[in-house]
Amino acid sequence: TLLATAPLVAVLASEQRAEAQFPFFGGSDIPAPPDVAAVPADAEVTASGLAFKILQPPSCESPQECKEQRPFKFDKVTVDYTGWQTNGKMFDSSVKRGQKITFGLDQVIKGWTEGLQLMAPGEKRRFWIPAALAYGENPGGGRPGGLLVFDVELYSVQRGPRPPETPADVA
């Protein structure tokens, strides 16, 4: 799964129990898109190296409305996702489990934190997340290494607490 901190173990254990309890969520992997081996030339790339393509536009009415609906670092989001390695092997999928996932943007890998802040509800994107924004090249612990590819659909944003403003005399 995507959680980058200690809750990862608990999440994995609960998912394994869920799959054991509900085998109808199992079955074959979701086939990899044809462009998982490398970032395609027509993908947009951010300064950090995160690459993406919009697969489905957001459901908002205007660019301004979309901007206002994007999540911030301290918000929670509900998404569906599938992740593949560049060899086409699927390693995780809420879609396969039949269960959307909700998490805080500050609880996941850096590539997800950055990428989801570019999205608005109803939008679906494909992300190519470099190792430096994911789990690294050789992370161990069963986590995938190297460039990872995710299809992510953002369903909703739950606003979280905002940090206090920096006083003018400190800035």
Catalytic amino acids?
Answer: 81, 91-92, 109, 135, 150
**Pairing relation of β-strands 148-158 and 124-129?**
antiparallel
DSSP 170: T
CB-based contacts of 22, cutoff 8 Å, min separation 6: none
Separate counts of helices (H) and strands (E) for the chain: 4, 7
Q: In this structure, what token pair is assigned to residue 111?
A: 């590539």
Tell me the CB-side half-sphere exposure of residue 80, using CA atoms within 13 A: 11
